[in-house]
A and B are shown apart, each in its own frame.
Chain A
Amino acid sequence: MAVTGADAARETSSVRNLSDHLRGRANSSSSRLWSAKIARVRTEVEVGQFSSQRALARTLFSAYSLGLNSEYLSEALIILRDLHGRAPEESLAQDTLDLGEALFAEYRRTGQVKHLEDMLAIHARVSTHRLLRTSLDCQHARALIARGVCVQEHGDLQRAKELISTIEPRLADSSSSQLLVACNVYHGTIWRDHNPHNIEQLRLIQDHSRDLLNRHGLVRWRSEVLGCCFLVCNAICSVGGNPDEMESAILTECNDDALQTRAKSVMDPSDMLCSLTLLYFNLGSRRAEAFYIAKAREWVEQMSHALTNKAMDPTETLHSLGMCLYVARSWLILDDNVVFEDTITHYRKAIGRSPCPHPIRHQYLLGLSLSLFMLFQYTGSMSALNEGTALSQNFRDIASTSPPLAIVLARLLSERVQAGRLRNAAKHGLLRRAIQVLQSALSQTRSGSVHYSPLLQQLSSVYQLQGDLGLSPDRAEHLAIVRIRSSLPFDGDLPEQLQTKLDLIYALLELAREAKDQAALQEATLLLTDIAKTSDVIAWDGESIRPDLDLLHGSSHIIRGILSGTTVEPATISEMFVSSMSDISGHTIDHLSRCLKWARLARAAAEPTLEMQAYRHAIGLLPRLAHLGGDISSRLKALHLVEGMATRAAVLALSMNGVCEAIELLEQARGVVWSQSLHPRVSLEAIPQDHVASFTQATDSLRMSSDATERRQYAAELEFIIGRIRKVEGYERFLLPCLYQELRACAAHGFIVLVIPSDTATHVVVIASPTSSPVHLRLSALKLGRLHSLTANLKSMSDRCRDSEVEEARGMKKVEVPSVKAALRSEYVDVLGELWTELVYPIITSVNLQVRRLRLFDALFSTRGIALVRSTTLMVVSDGTGRRAPNPRGRDL
């Protein structure tokens, strides 16, 4: 049946009336009522008749838009596609618009980019249409922005920007709200990509947004435009703008009663309100003004609470809560995790309630997972980390086909591995999973894509991490990846390029060392020479890259020496190390990480002096971990970075005949948490009389304060007071790490035995008395692996014995205890015998102890037999004088 343009227009009008009518009643309609209405429209459909089919499609779309069955959208799409495929020229633009809206809705529902690409394709088929051109262009800009954001194609964003600039002049004749929406989405996107180099562009966007608002004065869009203004203001200030600008923005833009009312009611959390809250926070933190921070906190808490309790569309709730999460994380930098944790709780509940389909749900789960990781990074909360890792399982399949998600997932898994508390097999498993996801995404990514280089870089980082953890990475593949990366141009702005180059040089140097690859060394040297030219003027986030460059220069020198078999001049390397460590700007964690890299490098080059220097420096940095966060949890988390360092440093000191230094290093590196916590509890007698009051006041204030800003002030005051106390004669070492001369006092009441297992041998240090020199024993036959094995055996035996005793006592099972014990006895004899021969006996003979009596097996199977066994393992010694000889060890086996 032929349909004319006039018919189509009339039909469109009538269908709109019907749809509007239905939409108007939708709020009070049940889904059953809607089903009935759709059924009624369906009966009017005649095959091939455009008007009735459009009516049905639009009714279905309206029903879906009001939150009803997603099948309505699927059916609407089928009809609209059919209509669009055979639409006459006159109605093509309108059909394209309708289909575009439905496709956009389908994209939002499923998260599949192909629907956006469909949209862009159908737009391309429509020739210029005077009436609907602006609407079509706006829809096209929206699709470009969505695709650009989704797949991180900057080209799409650029095209959207150009398109918007051509639409704007037409606004004089039109009050297209769609354009405003598109503009704001675009501005928000640009804001996310902000950096110090496009600050001027940000200012232009801000002016432009205000201009749009003033010219059109659309009350309905006011909050959206203001939201964009505030976001831009935040962005400008975050890249170095004047905080006065923020206050000015608040004062000028919020001078509106309606806006104030809306902000205060916090019942409709919008982009505007979230960005205004962020503005308050940023202003407060930049100026250290508690008023603004408190105001922002009040708002974000009220918003997330209101959202949780408000009966609104679950997906909209999630979107708004996502914005609240973005704002709430700001408090983490103030060491206040309560706001963020509460918002995460609301977000988690909202996801649980949301009926949104899987692809969309996964995006929210990803947001939750990222937030949990961030919480872990700031607070060291292992439960947050574990939950985040568990959640990441949900979006593994999607990540394989989406490069940005693959990169995020790989980062999350790497973080989990670096957080420690995993067996090597588990670490290996997580990193393998990261590699698989990245490889899968890489296989579907063209080399010209913007994702190509980031994917390679992330893959390289995972391989690097494998190597750092001693997990045997696939070196051939890693080398191939690094080589491809080095052949690619460096994208991004200058600091980003710089960071990429630093990472690449480090990867090349590691490969050169591991694979003895001269070419990799040469490539690294070339890049290093190139980067050194610009390094004086460039800093990354305000932190100098000079220490990194020193490290890389030192590495290249050492590796060149290793590869050529020549000796490197130690003074030169030492100079680079000192230079690298002298820059105290930046984060303590970065300094520690650099120290450990130096130590590893020095070990590879067999430079024990340099390695020792690196350890000493790293251990000296440990007390600074106390400033990372207010609680012990964060210090514990940071300590994972230096896991095993105390032992390595002590073993190295022992190999250099520094027994006293080994004891000092062990004590210092293994007492960070307790030492820092003990500071406030120092005995008043240990403080000069004149300083007791000020010291007590400062420690009390620090202990009782929960406000991060206050804590920093009190910590600085305490440091100052401690400094003054150290100037008093006799108190020069007040609260400084103990020297051996002080530590040896611990042997006043008996021998002290320190057992230090390592991969190559077990080292034992015996301090017989405060006046005698410490004795070092190297027990080559007993290596760390063997001790782990013996410990596992002992645990298994004690578990079996305990279980049998418990069951016997409960009368649940008749156990022939003697037979169980007889079997265990034989195993105990083996394990304890080995420990005796390899560990205990050498110790007691070295200090001239005499074995008086061995009563192990008398004790074995008494009521609390196992307890005795475990505590008897190392105690059957006596000094022969009748004096009790407690033998405290620093660490269990």
Chain B
Amino acid sequence: VVSSYTPTLSALINAQASPMDPIAHSDGGILVVSLPDVTGLPPLPNAEVEASVVQDLVSAANPSALTGERASISNVLTQLPGISVFHLACHGHQSQDDPLTSGFSLHDGRLTLEQLMQLHLPNAKLAYLSACETASTDEYQPDEAVNLAATMLFVGFKSVIATMW
């Protein structure tokens, strides 16, 4: 049994509005982003291994992989509209001061929540956010949860797997 979390009941109702059929080839591509090393942050030695395992598992779907210099903000933002599954293995950060600046640490900077909010991804199905603090909130935050997982739901992903640590 797997329990899930939702920022609001309406978000869940919206996600359930379209049937959650098994993901098919015709739904769109798979994007796997991994960044084991980012300047100024501790290395993530298993990020590359994780990405490799995921790619092997879905090799039949011919996934796109972005790593190193190619894992840039613009590349990710460009590729997201065409995909249905998004797997990300990198550093994440939930900003205590300004939640809109929370984001994923990519090669050329932080892909922020504010940038992600601009997207509209009606075909997106699953986001697997293998990064820190992607579903965490902080004790100073008002009642509303403004974090990366909620943002992914907002932009169109039907399901999001995120972390609370």
Q: Which residues of A contact B (CB under 8 A)?
A: 381-383, 386, 420-423, 632-633, 636, 639-640, 642-647, 663, 667, 669-675, 677-678, 681, 683, 738, 742-743, 745-746, 748-749, 752, 788, 795, 798-799, 802, 806, 809-810, 866-867, 870-871, 874-878, 884-892
Interface size on B, residues (CB 8 A): 45
In the bound complex, CA of A672 to CA of B10 (Å):
12
Known contacts A675-B8, A749-B16, A886-B3; 17 further A-B pairs (Cβ under 8 A): A386-B97, A647-B143, A671-B8, A672-B144, A674-B11, A683-B17, A742-B13, A743-B10, A809-B45, A870-B165, A871-B2, A877-B3, A889-B5, A890-B8, A890-B9, A892-B135, A892-B164
Interchain CB contact under 8 A, B1 and A673: no
Q: Which residues of B contact A (CB under 8 A)?
A: 1-14, 16-17, 42-43, 45-46, 96-100, 114, 117, 120, 135-146, 150, 154, 163-165
Task: Given A636-B142, A788-B139, check contact A746 B16 (CB 8 Å).
Answer: yes
Interchain CB contact under 8 A, B100 and A633: yes
Interchain CB contact under 8 A, A674 and B150: yes
Interchain CB contact under 8 A, A633 and B98: yes
* Least distance between B41 CB and chain A CB atoms (Å): 12
Q: Choose from A422, A748, A806, A871 the contact partner of B3 (Cβ within 8 Å).
A: A871
Which residue among B2, B45, B98 has the maximum number of chain A CB atoms within 10 Å of its CB? B98
Q: Choose from A382, A670, A748, A884 the contact partner of B143 (Cβ within 8 Å).
A: A670
Q: Which residue of A lies closest to B139 (CB)?
A: A788
* Number of A-B residue pairs at CB separation under 8 A: 150
* Least distance between B39 CB and chain A CB atoms (Å): 17
Provide 6 A-B residue pairs closer than 8 Å at the C-beta atoms, listed in order of the A residue.
A421-B97, A667-B10, A674-B144, A875-B3, A886-B4, A888-B12
Interchain CB contact under 8 A, B144 and A746: no
Residues of chain B contacted by A673 (CB below 8 angstroms): 144, 146
Which residue among B96, B100, B154 has the maximum number of chain A CB atoms within 10 Å of its CB? B100
Interchain CB contact under 8 A, A885 and B1: yes
In the bound complex, CA of A528 to CA of B29 (Å):
69
* Least distance between A836 CB and chain B CB atoms (Å): 14
Q: Which residue of A lies closest to B45 (CB)?
A: A809
Interchain CB contact under 8 A, B142 and A640: yes
* 8 tightest Cβ-Cβ pairs between the two chains A and B: A421-B140, A875-B3, A646-B143, A382-B97, A888-B6, A639-B142, A887-B3, A671-B8
Q: Choose from A642, A675, A752, A799 the contact partner of B142 (Cβ within 8 Å).
A: A642
Residues of chain A contacted by B43 (CB below 8 angstroms): 810
Q: Choose from A745, A867, A871 the contact partner of B13 (Cβ within 8 Å).
A: A745
In the bound complex, CA of A441 to CA of B135 (Å):
47
Interchain CB contact under 8 A, B165 and A798: yes
Residues of chain B contacted by A745 (CB below 8 angstroms): 13, 16
Interchain CB contact under 8 A, B16 and A867: no
In the bound complex, CA of A892 to CA of B99 (Å):
16
* Least distance between B106 CB and chain A CB atoms (Å): 20
Interchain CB contact under 8 A, A671 and B1: no
Residues of chain B contacted by A889 (CB below 8 angstroms): 3, 5-6
Q: Choose from A386, A422, A667, A809 the contact partner of B8 (Cβ within 8 Å).
A: A667
Interchain CB contact under 8 A, B163 and A752: no
* Least distance between A269 CB and chain B CB atoms (Å): 33
Residues of chain B contacted by A887 (CB below 8 angstroms): 3-4
Residues of chain A contacted by B97 (CB below 8 angstroms): 382-383, 386, 421
Q: Which residue of B lies closest to A745 (CB)?
A: B13
Residues of chain B contacted by A891 (CB below 8 angstroms): 137, 143, 145
Interchain CB contact under 8 A, A738 and B9: yes
Which residue among B6, B8, B9, B11 has the maximum number of chain A CB atoms within 10 Å of its CB? B9
* Least distance between A839 CB and chain B CB atoms (Å): 13
Q: Which residue of A lies closest to B161 (CB)?
A: A871
Residues of chain A contacted by B137 (CB below 8 angstroms): 891-892
Residues of chain A contacted by B165 (CB below 8 angstroms): 795, 798-799, 802, 866-867, 870
Residues of chain B contacted by A669 (CB below 8 angstroms): 143
Q: Choose from B2, B11, B100, B138 the contact partner of A636 (Cβ within 8 Å).
A: B100
Q: Choose from A675, A809, A892 the contact partner of B46 (Cβ within 8 Å).
A: A809
* Least distance between B81 CB and chain A CB atoms (Å): 14
